[in-house]
Amino acid sequence: MGKTIIQKIFENHSKQSANVGDIIDIDIDVRVARDFGGANVVKNLEENNLSLDDPKKTFFTFDCNPSGCDQKYAANQHICRIFARKNNVKTFDINRGIGTHIVIDEGIAKPGSTIVSTDSHANILGAIGAFGQGMGDRDIAHAFAYGKVWFKVPPTIKIVLKGRPSKFATPKDVVLKLLQVFGANELLGFASEIYGDYVDLLPLDARITIASMATEMGGIIILFPFKKGVNADADANYEDIVEIDFDDLKPMISLPGHPEDVLNIEELEKIKVDSGFIGSCTNGRISDMRAAAKVLDGRKIAPGRVLKIVPSTDNIWKKCLDGGLIKIFKDAGALVGSAGCAGCAAGQIGQTGSGEIAVSSGNRNFVGKQGKGDTYLASPETVAASLIAGYITSADDMPKEPVSLNIPEASHKISDIKKDVKISRLTCVEGKAWVIKKDNIDTDMIFHNRYLSITDINEMGQYTFDNLEGYENFAKKANPGDIVIVGKNFGAGSSRQQAVDCFKSLKISLIIAESFGAIYERNAINNAMPILIARDITSKIDDGDLLSVDFSTGKIINKTKNKEINVKPFSKSQLEIYKKGGLLKK
């Protein structure tokens, strides 16, 4: 039986066969830490007395807060700079832009190579047929120190796009259609390969847009085949082959809170918009900037609105300047920011206030991700058109005059508690159940991005679930030893380690989910946070039930109901990492 692209890449970077389901060590060609995770990577290396495997393959990218305007971010960036100077590590500093784009544009990442980063959208490297993966700070520290990480070989789904979108549909509309088809978790645990006549015609920028949103579908990666890269065998074994008809696809839009909640924009009533954002790793390329400029040229943003534009890299910013795009943006009334991630990271332009309606070209619109407002996801063309119109619309349906604007009120929330941390190595725990019957709880709901500069685990617990509706007071009410029971795809979203560590900070003894986000699962295992996967578990346990759980056998005893549930126990690797207290412990 032949091999898929990901199996071939893994075998090229390992001394082992890459059979689906096997856990193997993979050599990593490019190892990257960003500004919010970099300080923790350095901390892990220094606390465990680890040195670098190869400084030439090791990089820092400061793209989350390129302005350095937050004191904790600035401090973390300086920690990374000092470490880089001491160890001869290349740093792409605050003037360079998004790290995943830089490693592509600089030729650091190549087709068939392997890249890990503290960026959950590192799988954007699938656009060039490379394996990219977002990981937590312990994984990255291990890659820095040993040049490799463990990985479970995933099954692959083959996606075939049939037909041609309408002339007004963009690659962003195509990937929103994919989200509509696959939802937030149908690709969970899978790699994907994408094919079709339309795919063959796509330039790099378009491939980046599509590849960057694999994370929002729960997928490990969407790989684009390259003629001179690594390609699947003709008899490769796929878990499934999914054909999707894109013929005459129209502009699409994702509704607030859920990237996968997608409609044809024609189905959406005219919704007044307060602000717009064009940028991110999904739509910050020069083709995106040119597309937005084409819509904005000679026009003005509707009165009372604000449009924020952020190119993904400094080189793209310069192309915008040289090509006259910056003038078009400014003449239209837009704010243009320094290259970087912008709205995806707290503290940068692209944030929203309570009651604010925003339309964004980003990849996520989770509740609270970019502030307290409601964010719709769309193409750069749709964002620009909407800000001209004053309501959400596509570029082919702009009115002659903008609509009026109602000013919403703002609201604020403050939370302040602190708990100490104590780690247990017991393989059997007992605790009260918190049953949260929700799927796709993302990392912003668990630990919001406005707290990402926190590196002290003792400070993290107080913010657990403070962005999850109905559970804002979880941290105040939870007791040491409690067990959290949740639905599918728990921990979707970013690679932030804090979304795991906050539970350790509260001394939560175990998280049982119907499934976990791929990066979240790695982060929990690598930091010795006990997690188990149990199908339909939220329907079998009630809130407040007293549970006894054995990690090594997978036996759950509900002492309240006097019932027993058997689930898959810790794997050998998970148990070994747990018992020694974490991936980096000896």
Over range 414-427, report the average pLDDT. 45
Tell me what pLDDT residue 526 has: 95
Q: What is the CATH number of the domain that holds 176?
A: 3.40.1060.10
Residue 421 has pLDDT above 70, yes or no: no
Over range 144-154, report the average pLDDT. 97
Over range 155-162, report the average pLDDT. 98
Q: What is the CATH number of the domain that holds 317?
A: 3.30.499.10
> Tens digits of per-residue pLDDT, 548-560?
999 999 999 999 9
- Of the given ranges (43-47, 175-179, 451-455, 482-486), which has the lowest mean pLDDT? 451-455
Same domain, 452 and 479: yes
With beta carbons less than 8 A apart as the criterion, state whether 7 and 18 touch: yes
Q: Is 113 within a domain?
A: yes
With beta carbons less than 8 A apart as the criterion, state whether 35 and 73 touch: yes
The number of distinct structural domains making up the chain is 4
Tell me what pLDDT residue 425 has: 59
With beta carbons less than 8 A apart as the criterion, state whether 131 and 114 touch: yes
Tell me what pLDDT residue 409 has: 40
Same domain, 491 and 527: yes
Same domain, 74 and 126: yes
Which of 249, 276, 306 delimits the end of a domain? 249
Tell me what pLDDT residue 47 has: 95
Predicted structure pTM score: 0.85
Tell me what pLDDT residue 411 has: 40
Over range 21-33, report the average pLDDT. 97
Residue 31 has pLDDT above 90, yes or no: yes
Q: Work out the pLDDT band at 88, boundaries 50, 70, 90.
A: very high
Tell me what pLDDT residue 370 has: 78
Q: Work out the pLDDT band at 337, boundaries 50, 70, 90.
A: very high
Distance separating alpha carbons of residues 484 and 482, to the nearest angstrom: 7
Distance separating alpha carbons of residues 219 and 213, to the nearest angstrom: 9
Same domain, 135 and 160: no
Q: Is 419 within a domain?
A: no
Specify the higher pLDDT residue, 488 or 351: 488
Tell me what pLDDT residue 582 has: 92
- Of the given ranges (197-201, 274-278, 415-419, 496-500), which has the lowest mean pLDDT? 415-419
Q: How many CB atoms lie within 10 A of CB 197?
A: 11
Residue 228 has pLDDT above 90, yes or no: no
What residue spans of 390-496 are helical by DSSP H? Answer: 443-446, 474-477
Q: Work out the pLDDT band at 405, boundaries 50, 70, 90.
A: low
Residue 423 has pLDDT above 70, yes or no: no
Which of 203, 218, 249 delimits the end of a domain? 249
Tally of residues, the chain = 586
Q: Is 199 helix (H, G, I), strand (E, B) or coil?
A: helix
> Tens digits of per-residue pLDDT, 502-511?
999 999 999 9
Tell me what pLDDT residue 125 has: 98
Q: Is 400 within a domain?
A: no
Same domain, 201 and 308: no
Over range 93-101, report the average pLDDT. 95
Tell me what pLDDT residue 347 has: 54
Tell me what pLDDT residue 418 has: 36
Specify the higher pLDDT residue, 22 or 352: 22
User: Do β-strands 262-264 and 252-254 pair in parallel, antiparallel, or remain unpaired?
Assistant: antiparallel
Distance separating alpha carbons of residues 569 and 346, to the nearest angstrom: 37
Q: Is 33 within a domain?
A: yes
Q: Work out the pLDDT band at 70, boundaries 50, 70, 90.
A: confident
3-state helix, strand, coil in the chain (%, to 5): 30, 20, 50
Ramachandran angles phi, psi of 36, nearest 5°? -75, -30
Same domain, 558 and 437: yes
Which of 123, 152, 181 delimits the end of a domain? 152
Distance separating alpha carbons of residues 276 and 471, to the nearest angstrom: 29
Give the structural domain span for 190: 155-249
Q: Is 363 within a domain?
A: yes
Q: Which of 290, 218, 282, 273 is nearest to 441 (CA)?
A: 218
Distance separating alpha carbons of residues 310 and 370, to the nearest angstrom: 15
Same domain, 31 and 134: yes
Percentage of the chain lying above the pLDDT 90 cut: 84
Tell me what pLDDT residue 73 has: 83
Q: Is 409 within a domain?
A: no
Distance separating alpha carbons of residues 529 and 480, to the nearest angstrom: 14
> Tens digits of per-residue pLDDT, 103-142?
999 999 999 999 999 999 999 999 999 999 999 999 999 9
> Tens digits of per-residue pLDDT, 237-265?
999 999 999 999 999 999 998 899 999 99
Over range 5-17, report the average pLDDT. 97
Distance separating alpha carbons of residues 561 and 64, to the nearest angstrom: 48
Q: Work out the pLDDT band at 351, boundaries 50, 70, 90.
A: confident
Q: Is 94 within a domain?
A: yes
Tell me what pLDDT residue 66 has: 80
Same domain, 213 and 75: no
Same domain, 436 and 537: yes
Residue 414 has pLDDT above 60, yes or no: no
Q: Is 513 within a domain?
A: yes
Same domain, 242 and 265: no
Tell me what pLDDT residue 422 has: 40
Residue 424 has pLDDT above 50, yes or no: no
Tell me what pLDDT residue 346 has: 59
Q: Work out the pLDDT band at 408, boundaries 50, 70, 90.
A: very low
Average pLDDT, the chain: 92
Tell me what pLDDT residue 345 has: 67
Same domain, 214 and 146: no
Q: Which of 114, 119, 121, 122 is nearest to 148 (CA)?
A: 114
Q: How many CB atoms lie within 10 A of CB 493?
A: 29
Distance separating alpha carbons of residues 293 and 327, to the nearest angstrom: 9
Distance separating alpha carbons of residues 10 and 18, to the nearest angstrom: 6
Same domain, 573 and 535: yes
